[in-house]
Amino acid sequence: MAEILVAGAGPAGCAAAAILARQGFRVTLADPCPPVPPRIESLPAAGQRLAAELGLAPALSDAILGTAERIELAWRPDSEIRSFGHAGPLLLSRPRLHAALRRAAFAAGAELAAERIDRLEPGRAACRSGAVLVAAVILDARGRAAGGLAPLGPPRAALPFRGNARREQPSMGLAALADGWLWWAAAAGELQGLRVAAPGTLAGMDAAGRQGWLRASGHPITETCETGTPVPAGLAAADPLAVPGIIRIGDAALARDPVGAHGLVHALRSAAQGAAAAATWLRHPAERGAAEQFLRLRHRTDCTAARAATAASHAEQGRHRTAFWQEMPATPALPSSPPPGRLRLAAVAAQVPLMAGGHIQWARGMELRTDGTQLARLGPYPAAALLAALAQPGTADEFAARLARLGPSQAAAPAVAELARLGALVPA
Ligand SMILES: Cc1cc2nc3c(=O)[nH]c(=O)nc-3n(C[C@H](O)[C@H](O)[C@H](O)COP(=O)(O)OP(=O)(O)OC[C@H]3O[C@@H](n4cnc5c(N)ncnc54)[C@H](O)[C@@H]3O)c2cc1C
């Protein structure tokens, strides 16, 4: 019997399986391994750092088609071309990424079960073949196929397309249309992208209809492209701990609207968090409550951030005022800088969950009075030190000066700005 069953060998499942197998757990990775359709996906610098932290940089490098040098934007009223300099996102081949991450999981010791799982229950998975896989802990990483996701934004469908890139430099493009938007990436002679719309727009279209609809976007990039099969793409989420003993990770917990992007970053980050929770359940059962609270808090933060990212992209779009663009409600703007005048920190000392050393434990921390956010530390500052340093009211500059005496001075102003962004600095 495996200690841990990971259902789904996409980016989230493979990352979690590799992390846990490296820690010595007996891990089974179950996936029917259907062919992965060609697709280019972008990974920003934050995702590259995260992959390196998780020991997955070599797997990533096997999938790199190029580093995007620029993005052509037809989003705001004026078209623009932005150069990324040296910090461009990686453009990854999705089939190569799958293959490389699976190799990393198997090299770490995870075993493959080439099974399609029809039903997950605490401790067991019923497979289409009739087999039953049994494990102490299950990570559900089946992506949107896990089902049970509730919409957090308007429904969206993405029509993938591909063609030959006529450009030499790896690049990307983003264009707002009246009934949706278009994203494409070109690298290593390939051009791939998606046209996103409300699902009703695509309903009832056959392959020829979809091909015609893509061309009708009017964007020159689509002129010689072939379309694929539409896939759901709206922002949606599910409780990561709805079923006892099962932890949802990746798209199975939070599937992002591609306009907010960063699906891969979330897949890797939630894999690390889900793996740490599974390790805690098995090796530190007394801390099970800390693991569960940690996952719930992170999930809430991630959902809020994903909604804000989607809403911000809609708000920035200044070319069309159509129903598609008005469907996503704006989220309240977060303060971008600390408020003026004398402030106080609206937070109290609390026991909070902390992820460290591959598992989760209770630690001394603080809880923000505004929305219950719990922090063990902020940047280099432990929460207890922050609470002590900011116990007396002061201006934002005075707070930064006090923090600068505690640790690296360059981290002080960003920490104060982050507290303001979290709404934790209120008039004294
Ligand atoms: C068209 C499109 C373009 C995108 N572009 C980008 C991009 O440029 N950048 C970015 O960061 N993100 C992008 N994303 C999002 C990104 O692909 C996902 O967020 C990411 O792949 C999620 O990883 P995952 O492992 O959670 O799920 P998935 O990648 O969906 O993997 C799920 C795995 O589970 C397996 N599975 C499914 N059902 C079962 C079952 N019943 N039993 C066993 N196994 C099963 C599947 O075979 C698959 O291997 C895009 C998404 C789409 C749809």
Give the model confidence (pLDDT) of 182-229 as tens digits: 999 999 889 999 999 999 999 999 999 999 999 999 888 888 899 999
Ligand 1 centroid distance, CA of 124 (Å): 23
Ligand 1 centroid distance, CA of 16 (Å): 14
Ligand 1 centroid distance, CA of 289 (Å): 29
Q: Which of 382, 238, 383, 358 minimizes the C-alpha distance to 291?
A: 358
Given this model, what pLDDT does residue 207 score?
A: 95
Q: Is the CB of 145 within 6 Å of ligand 1? A: yes
**pLDDT, mean of residues 285-313:** 95
What's the angle, vertex CA 414, arms to CA 359 and CA 86, rounded to 5? Answer: 85
Ligand 1 centroid distance, CA of 323 (Å): 28
Nearest CA to ligand 1 atom 5: 41
Given this model, what pLDDT does residue 232 score?
A: 95
119 contacts 131 by C-beta, under 8 angstroms = no
Give the three-state DSSP class for 2: strand
Q: Is the CB of 88 within 6 Å of ligand 1? A: no
d(CA 323, CA 245) in angstroms, rounded, equals: 42
Q: Is the CB of 116 within 6 Å of ligand 1? A: yes
Nearest CA to ligand 1 atom 15: 263
The answer, yes or no, to whether residue 371 has pLDDT greater than 90, is no
Position 277, amino acid: A
pTM value is: 0.95
Task: Enter the tokens of residue 351.
Answer: 């026991």
Q: Is the CB of 133 within 6 Å of ligand 1? A: no
Q: Is the CB of 59 within 6 Å of ligand 1? A: no
173 contacts 71 by C-beta, under 8 angstroms = yes
d(CA 263, CA 141) in angstroms, rounded, equals: 13
250 contacts 10 by C-beta, under 8 angstroms = yes
Nearest CA to ligand 1 atom 18: 263
The 3-state secondary structure of 178-206, one letter per residue: CCEEEEEEEECCEEEEEEEECHHHHCCCC
184 contacts 41 by C-beta, under 8 angstroms = no
Contacts of 283 (CB under 8 A, 6+ apart): 359
Which of ligand 1's atoms lies nearest the C-alpha of 266? 19
Nearest CA to ligand 1 atom 4: 41
The answer, yes or no, to whether residue 49 has pLDDT greater than 80, is yes
User: Class for domain 2-316, per CATH?
Assistant: alpha beta
Q: Which of 287, 247, 292 minimizes the C-alpha distance to 270?
A: 247
Which of ligand 1's atoms lies nearest the C-alpha of 117? 42
Q: Which of 293, 295, 235 minimizes the C-alpha distance to 263?
A: 235
202 contacts 98 by C-beta, under 8 angstroms = no
Ligand 1 centroid distance, CA of 94 (Å): 9
d(CA 284, CA 290) in angstroms, rounded, equals: 10
**Structural domain boundaries in the chain:** 2-316, 343-427
The answer, yes or no, to whether residue 116 has pLDDT greater than 80, is yes
**pLDDT, mean of residues 357-379:** 93
Given this model, what pLDDT does residue 277 score?
A: 98
Phi, psi of 206 (to 5 degrees): -85, -175
pLDDT band at 168 (very low <50, low <70, confident <90, very high): confident
Choose between 28 and 340: higher pLDDT.
28
The residues pairing with 377 across neighbouring beta strands, listed in sequence order, are 382
pLDDT band at 140 (very low <50, low <70, confident <90, very high): very high
Q: For the chain, state the CA radius of gyration.
A: 23
The answer, yes or no, to whether residue 381 has pLDDT greater than 90, is yes
Phi, psi of 231 (to 5 degrees): -130, 150
Task: Enter the tokens of residue 111.
Answer: 């075993």
Ligand 1 centroid distance, CA of 304 (Å): 21
237 contacts 299 by C-beta, under 8 angstroms = yes
